[in-house]
Amino acid sequence: MAEADERTVGETATKPGFLGLSDVSISEDIPVEGEITVPMASHSQDEDYSTLDEPVKETIIRDLKAVGKKFVHVMYPKKSNALLRDWDLWGPLVLCVSLALMLQGGSADSKEDGGPQFAEVFVIIWFGAVVITLNSKLLGGTISFFQSLCVLGYCVLPLTVAMLVCRLVLLAGMGPINFLIRLIVVIAMFVWSTLASTAFLADSQPPNRKALAVYPIFLFYFVISWMILTFTPH
Amino acid sequence: MLCVWGALVTSTEFEAAADLLAETPGATTISSLEEPQGHVSLAVDTGDQEDGDLEENDQTQLLGGEKQPPNFWTFSYHQSFFDVDTHQVLERIKNSLLPVPSQNFVRHCLRHHPDLYGPFWICATLAFALAVSSNLATVLQNWKEASFSYSPQFHKVTVAGITIYCYAWLVPTALWGFLQWRKGVGECVGCYTFLEIVCVYGYSLFIYIPTVVLWLIPISGLQWFLGVLAVSLSGAVLLLTFWPLVRSDTRVVSAVLLTVMVALHALLAIGCKFYFFQSLPSRSIPVTQAPLHQVTPPGSSKTSAAS
């Protein structure tokens, strides 16, 4: 034992102490025994499988609540990860379909002079979102494909609200004051959409390319705002 | 300010360095050929702003030179075309607006590092700017007339998009093919890569964006002046870029090529002006009311019963 002590003393003299543990030694006399238990992981698996047995109403309400929670996050954009972590595409689909339906029925002198048709709005929103996502990934962004689609789709919500307001305002007839109200509402919602999506997406870009990634988002919402502003009913 | 940097360059990079030296005549160079493998070390006085860029590019070229080029089907192959920073894109846009005779856009700005970000988004912006301005111009011309009914004319977005993207991709393809043929025949010195030509054409379209927006002002003389200014500025950039290549060719071929390039560029501007900003004849009075009389067919019994 004395030799061991001398050895350890000698070692501590030459080696620097690592967290003060270099002079710890386990004597061979003391047995080490015990039990190691791993908590069973099947508990959470049981929970996942059990959602198959729940009534359909519960599933739908849970999904609706998730979508609603994300709507709230978009309307009050703070830096939170909720949109990114649990992405889903239900919200963007609902928003896109309702926006395309509301943009239908625009006036047209000739068949080709009218506003965008349902398919055109749909294609512009989804194709535009895919192109922007590809662009941000090619620039070196760290966000995943569907997360980015989810954010861009959910941030169309302010513009859908603007479309609703425009349609209501247009019920009162056309006129310059009418147009001015619509212009202000659409501009405000456009700025809100762009700021909301930038708040969620800008952090995932490399710092010297943020402007390159944000500009296409600006262009995307500008085009949608333009379609909303130029909507004229029959 | 004096900035001195030394870099070890491989012999394949010597050509790029030589080009750089040719364009900065005020630089002092120290070349030492002591290394046995033919490495050359250069110390060049350059401006402040070029420092980081040059160093980055040389380092990436050195590092990338050892790796195999990635496969076309991998994501990183396409990622290499978007490897630009914000300040690089802004610098390229600025250089496409102002033709400087001593600076070749491809050699000075791109430096074997073409990107697809600029051409793609400049074309997209130009297409939407054309459609929006065209719509606004129609409104501004006709809003005072009582029977004018606004229509969004959304089909113009499609037309504008197809036109711009065709110009920005087909003309560089044709030009590249032509230059390759001349190089093969032996008349041309060298050729830019296909992507460099696409890049030059894409950035040269940038000047049309403010031009199209300013064409909203309904003064005809001003519109023509702006158009001529835009075509001459971007045409000059294109000419200065391609002149070193065709300089060694026969006079006829080089003259024809450069004329065709500028003519196509001008044709795009004139075509856009005439299609999107046509001053419409006032189609106010008869159109909305005349069909009401023509709709009722002469021998119909239903309408006579209804009236």
Span B183-223, pLDDT tens digits: 887 766 667 888 888 998 999 999 999 999 999 888 889 99
Higher per-residue confidence, B132 vs B67 = B132
Nearest CB among A137, A138, A209 relative to B85 is that of: A209
What value, to the nearest 5°, has the Cα angle with vertex A78 and ends A74 and A79?
115
B134 in Cβ contact with B277 (< 8 Å): yes
Q: What is the pLDDT of residue A158?
A: 93
Assess whether pLDDT exceeds 90 at residue A30.
no
Q: Residue A212: its chain B contacts at CB < 8 A?
A: 84-86, 89, 117
- pLDDT for residue A97: 92
> Is pLDDT above 80 for B286?
no
Cα–Cα distances (Å) from A12 to A5, A7, A19, B133, B267, in that order, read 10, 9, 12, 80, 85
Q: Pick the residue with more confidence: A7 or A121?
A: A121
Select from B204, B240, B232 the least CA-distant residue to B92: B204
Q: Is residue A86 part of a domain?
A: yes
Tokens of B142: 């006709």
Contact (CB<8Å) A222/B117: no
Q: Is the pLDDT of residue B26 over 60?
A: no
Are A183 and A229 spatial neighbours (Cβ–Cβ below 8 Å)?
A: yes
Q: Which residues from chain B sit within 8 angstroms of residue A219, using beta carbons?
A: 121, 124-125, 128
* Most confident segment among A72-81, B39-48, B260-269: B260-269
List alpha helices for B70-207, DSSP H: 75-79, 86-97, 117-142, 155-185, 194-204
Residue A1 counted as domain residue: no
- The mean-pLDDT minimum among A48-57, A187-196, B9-18, B248-257 falls in B9-18
| Stronger pLDDT, A153 or A204, i.e. the higher one | A153
> What is the per-residue pLDDT for A69?
86
Name which of B78, B154, B159 to mutate to probe chain A: the one with the most chain A Cβ atoms within 10 A of its Cβ.
Answer: B154
Does the residue A18 lie in any domain? no
The answer to whether position A214 is within a domain reads yes
Q: Minimum mean pLDDT among A179-188, B1-10, B96-105, B243-252: which range? A: B1-10
Across the interface, which of A107, A215, A232 has its CB nearest the CB of B121? A215
CB of A159 closer than 8 Å to CB of A99: yes
Provide the residue range defining the domain that includes A108.
Answer: 37-229
The reported pLDDT for the residue numbered B246 is 80
Is A8 part of a structural domain of the chain?
no
pLDDT of residue A224 exceeding 50, the answer is yes
Top mean pLDDT of A137-141, A192-196, B112-116 is at: A192-196
pTM across the whole model: 0.71
A192 within domain boundaries: yes
Written as six digits, the tokens of A50 are: 């059990």
Mean pLDDT of A211-226: 92
Residue B36 confidence class, pLDDT cut points 50, 70, 90: very low
* pLDDT at residue B41, rounded to an integer: 43
Residue A13 lies in a domain: no
Q: Give the B-side interface with A, CB within 8 Å.
A: 75, 78-79, 81-87, 89, 117, 121, 124-125, 128, 132, 135, 149-155
Burial category of A217 from C-beta neighbours within 10 Å (exposed 0-12, middle 13-18, buried 19 and up)? buried
Residues of A in contact with B124 (CB under 8 A): 216, 219
**pLDDT tier, B305 (very low <50, low <70, confident <90, very high otherwise):** very low
* B206, B121 contact by CB (below 8 A): no
H/E segment holding residue B210:
helix B208-214
B293/B273 Cα distance (integer angstroms): 37
B128-152: pLDDT as tens digits:
999 999 988 888 888 777 777 777 7
Using DSSP's 3-state secondary structure scheme, residue A30 falls into: coil
The confidence score (pLDDT) of residue B85 equals 85
Residue reference for tokens 């004329």: B259
Q: What is the distance between the terminal CA atoms of chain A, rounded to a whole angstrom? A: 101
Q: Which of B78, B135, B155 sits opposite A138 (nearest CB)?
A: B78
| B56: pLDDT strictly greater than 70 | no
The share of chain B scoring above pLDDT 70, in percent, equals 66
Nearest to B96 by CA among B129, B133, B57, B122: B122
Closest partner residue to A115 among B75, B85, B154, by Cβ?
B154
Distance of residue B151 Cα from the nearest chain A Cα, in angstroms: 6
How many structural domains is chain A composed of?
1
Domain membership of residue A153 (yes or no) is: yes
Sequence-ordered list of residues with C-beta below 8 angstroms from that of B43, at least 6 positions apart, any chain: B4, B5, B6, B28, B29, B30
Burial of residue B213 (CB within 10 Å: 0-12, 13-18, 19+) is: middle
Q: What is the mean pLDDT of chain B?
A: 73
A135 vs chain B: nearest CA distance in angstroms? Answer: 8
